[in-house]
Structure 1
């Protein structure tokens, strides 16, 4: 009987030490970039879990940094808008709080989080996208309401960070990827902006050009081959969330600038081919009823860049590079304006929205006439 008890005690002691070892290992390697452990080149410089736990690590980062300026939006804004741009010089620190795949409610709640932790927040640049206002776009699985507006990591997150098998595996992945890329910053820069080059290398396996554009466009709900399935429903709730964000900026005297992302023209073609162009225009009308916006979408000299393996502005149909984001900021804040191509970025209000939409239709017709091969490419993907 005593030997049996000794065995049980030994088993639980071993289990305790194993759990302690795993927790210390996960804390030190810190694959999500949320603990206070040191970063060592070749060991844990590439935090692989950041790619999968964006909502967690950015919640913690805002609590640590307490930025005075933030960037809000989806992954398009996350890749393209650089917090080190000179327009943020008077409001530092600045942080890119855009969230991968966010709907408008998630984006609004992360804005609330930043404001709650720093009432001195004074500047917000907000990138909005058509898909963010889709009723069918549910909150992501890793979105946790209970972790927001707190300056500490909640207990359930600590349990996952320290003891989960998934995080242990990410710690192993972090060591492996860091040893292979000892001089890389990883998927994200310290200011919250996504690292496009590293993303392309790891996720797209350095693919580029027409094949990659096709691959990304195929994932687009608008090109679903089943026309009987509803792929988009403009959400009153998400419009309300956007309205509340704008109202919060007014109440708290936050300098707020809103823009529509400059995705590649093939992204807009997928909306047209999917039969959602009228809804796309309706969405813009609803948005400008809430606040004027800068519209960088459409068919201009930047967004219509020819698809090739060495593109300057884009790496897929959805995401623009920092160089385009810099032009967006230059236009909106009137700096280095000589660098911005004519026609890139239109200030849209309730007064000029109809004329603006008409001009965009006209620009689309001209682009389609000049580029029938790209029109056919998108249409074939629908088929």
Structure 2
């Protein structure tokens, strides 16, 4: 057999090049697998090395499709970014019988997205409890209420009709290859390593989302400008739109799916800061908002009428000391809200504690057919009180709304 010295120079070069490529590729795969930037591989998380995953925030649909099944949860939380940020799956207030909890909420997730990911979980994993959190603007004719294309759900284990997804294994393989071999994964693995050397980096644990994408700009340009920007964005959600009933079918589908499995459901109407409630009223949606709450309650009661179909509905969207905190009370941020649409974990903690420990201070109200109308009347009264007691905040929001409406 010829020695390597006897090989032609060109052939030696090619072999050396292939060896370098093989070693480099192997190193990349091992590094990406160790860092696991998208939480696709399931590599154990080690503090100071790979525990914090800043890139996972931007790949939630992929990451959560994989991680939720590995977590084997007994409870999942469904909803939008409000819920991914505000309700902690790791909160000790969750009763032991419902743990572990996984936060399956995602940015801009409409009720249909929640339904599709719930199908994915229940096809592989039984659940004791589903916490479904609803946002009124997803039931209006704006971009938030547009059903995502089915291509967004190609990596889920089931189709929209509930049958096995024939592309599931292929997409699992594609995600694994992307997590191990892509240049994007390599760049994000480097970010993981750097983030774990920093005291300020975002993290994703049990699906909970640290809102670093908002916090960093707020630190740069200030609390007030960022809050005012979100006030303007709130106006865009409610101005010139009308009610859309189609998303309610997705809520019904979720309740129907849970009823078939004997899974308890808690429905939460997410809290808005008073700024957003004011805009909602200025845009002429208050009556529609109340009718929507009545529809949600009617649906919850319909699925509570039979055994093994318990559905509780909690309205956290009221004028209260939590939602009426003035932006003029603190120059570096509020205790209960990050912006007018996203509540803090401090408020989310109180919401969970009230649901499971009724003796604590009231955040919202559990709705029943007997107390609904009185509850809605109390909110209208609280709205009048707020406008009398927070004139500066009310005038600010009214000015923002009028300026936006005039430019349209």
TM-score by length of 2: 0.79
- Residue 107 of structure 1, CA deviation: 1.0
Q: 1:131 to 1:155 in 2, by over 3 A?
A: farther
Residue of 210, 217, 221 corresponding to 2:224: 210
- Residue 161 of structure 1, CA deviation: 1.6
Any stretches of 5+ residues in structure 2 without a counterpart?
1-7, 159-167, 302-312, 404-408
**Aligned-pair Cα RMSD in Å:** 3.2
* More off after superposition, 15-24 vs 286-295: 15-24
- Give me the whole-angstrom Cα distance separating, in 2, the residues matched to 1:245 and 1:209: 38
Residue of structure 2 equivalent to 1:326: 349
- Residue 303 of structure 1, CA deviation: 1.0
SS in structure 2 at match of 1:291: helix
Residue of 69, 78, 93 corresponding to 2:84: 78
Residue of structure 1 equivalent to 2:189: 171
SS in structure 2 at match of 1:52: helix
Establish whether residue 187 from structure 1 lines up as the match of residue 190 from structure 2: no
Contact kept in structure 1, 2:54 and 2:204, CA below 8 Å: no
- Residue 105 of structure 1, CA deviation: 0.4
- Residue 319 of structure 1, CA deviation: 1.6
Establish whether residue 257 from structure 1 lines up as the match of residue 263 from structure 2: no
Post-superposition CA distance 1:71-99 (Å, at most 9, x none):
11112122222333334311222222222
Residue of structure 1 equivalent to 2:309: none
Alignment of 1:284-303 (within 5 A): 284-291=293-300, 293-303=313-323
- Give me the whole-angstrom Cα distance separating, in 1, the residues matched to 2:347 and 2:151: 29
- Residue 130 of structure 1, CA deviation: 1.1
Contact kept in structure 2, 1:44 and 1:174, CA below 8 Å: yes
Q: 1:139 to 1:207 in 2, by over 3 A?
A: farther
Residue of 244, 249, 264 corresponding to 1:234: 244
- Residue 58 of structure 1, CA deviation: 1.4
Q: 1:284 to 1:208 in 2, by over 3 A?
A: farther
Residue of structure 2 equivalent to 1:62: 68
Establish whether residue 108 from structure 1 lines up as the match of residue 109 from structure 2: no
Contact kept in structure 2, 1:104 and 1:133, CA below 8 Å: no
Residue of structure 2 equivalent to 1:162: 180
- Give me the whole-angstrom Cα distance separating, in 2, the residues matched to 1:206 and 1:332: 37
- Residue 171 of structure 1, CA deviation: 2.0
SS in structure 1 at match of 2:97: coil
Structure whose alpha-carbon radius of gyration is higher: 2
- Residue 374 of structure 1, CA deviation: 1.0
- Give me the whole-angstrom Cα distance separating, in 1, the residues matched to 2:272 and 2:92: 20
Q: 1:347 to 1:330 in 2, by over 3 A?
A: same
SS in structure 1 at match of 2:102: strand
- Give me the whole-angstrom Cα distance separating, in 1, the residues matched to 2:289 and 2:13: 67
Residue of structure 2 equivalent to 1:146: 154
- Residue 239 of structure 1, CA deviation: 0.7
Residue of 367, 370, 377 corresponding to 2:386: 367
Q: 1:207 to 1:110 in 2, by over 3 A?
A: farther
- Give me the whole-angstrom Cα distance separating, in 1, the residues matched to 2:95 and 2:217: 30
SS in structure 2 at match of 1:204: helix
* More off after superposition, 47-56 vs 308-317: 308-317
Contact kept in structure 2, 1:80 and 1:319, CA below 8 Å: yes
- Residue 260 of structure 1, CA deviation: 0.5
Contact kept in structure 1, 2:85 and 2:344, CA below 8 Å: yes
Query: Aligned pairs, how many?
Result: 368
Residue of structure 2 equivalent to 1:277: 286
Contact kept in structure 2, 1:103 and 1:131, CA below 8 Å: no
Contact kept in structure 2, 1:85 and 1:326, CA below 8 Å: no
Contact kept in structure 2, 1:222 and 1:276, CA below 8 Å: no
- Give me the whole-angstrom Cα distance separating, in 1, the residues matched to 2:92 and 2:253: 27
Contact kept in structure 1, 2:82 and 2:342, CA below 8 Å: yes
- Give me the whole-angstrom Cα distance separating, in 2, the residues matched to 1:207 and 1:315: 15
- Give me the whole-angstrom Cα distance separating, in 2, the residues matched to 1:102 and 1:143: 15
- Give me the whole-angstrom Cα distance separating, in 2, the residues matched to 1:223 and 1:372: 23
- Residue 38 of structure 1, CA deviation: 4.2
Post-superposition CA distance 1:101-147 (Å, at most 9, x none):
2011011112222212212x111222111123345324568973222
Q: 1:16 to 1:271 in 2, by over 3 A?
A: farther
Alignment of 1:328-347 (within 5 A): 328-333=351-356, 335=357, 337-341=358-362, 344-347=363-366
